[in-house]
Amino acid sequence: MAAETYEHNTSGSDWLAKYLPLVLSISIIGGGVLCYFLIPDFQQFCQEAWQVLTSSDQARIAKWINQFGFWGPLLLLVLFIVQMLAFVLPSWLLILVCTVAYGPWWGSGLALIGILFASTVAYFIGKMLNEHTLLALLGEKSERKMRAYLESYGLGTVIVFRLAPFLSNDTISFVAGLTRMNFWRFMMGTAIGISPLIILMAYLGGDINRLKQGLIWASVVCIIGFFAYVWWDKTKGPESRSRAQE
């Protein structure tokens, strides 16, 4: 009888560890959705924020952010977290908003802090959650592929995925935590990878067309370079290592 009770408690604990993070995540997202539909002021704020931040009108973006005064930078930091959890806004768009609202220097610094802050939160979420929960949140194909790249190429994967604005910056943070990648190594790769992108966006931010072209080219170059290295490592790399051992 005692053995049956212990087995029941153990299975209950396993179920709790497996599904509680997913239930909490769904509850948070569901709570936000309910607030959106039940609280008119919150709905209006979300709609206004989306319209302004996704517009190409830089003066309008700067004016909207600056109306919050001291709370403006804090609002942007919160949006970096929201973007990471809900995949609502691309991270590069928030970087652009920072540089538009606060200038190339202060805005770039704020964007870097926002990215590092959001990456830290995502890393520790990934570290706390189990693989079943992350598979449910991120999708099996995306999680498996990112895990394979991180386990094979580590720091280089983080740098490339930060450099390329249209790759999944959020997924790599969660999976880095799941795979227990060294936190400071992960943060170093994030800072190294995101800094050139922030500089590029601060430089090209005054011209939206040039900015879009620059982001596309940056993504293409990073993707081609990364997969070229993966191909070389899988074909030439083993041969070179085997010859060196001989």
Extents of the domains making up the chain: 59-236
pLDDT digits (tens), the chain, 246 positions: 544 443 444 454 455 555 555 565 666 667 777 887 888 888 888 888 888 887 777 788 888 988 888 899 999 998 888 887 766 677 788 888 888 888 888 989 999 999 999 899 888 888 877 666 666 666 666 667 777 778 777 777 788 778 776 665 677 888 888 888 889 999 998 998 888 888 888 877 666 666 667 667 777 777 777 777 777 767 765 554 444 344
CA pair distance 194, 183, nearest whole angstrom: 16
What per-residue confidence (pLDDT) applies to 138? Answer: 62
What is the pTM for the complete model shown? Answer: 0.73
What per-residue confidence (pLDDT) applies to 141? Answer: 65
What per-residue confidence (pLDDT) applies to 113? Answer: 94
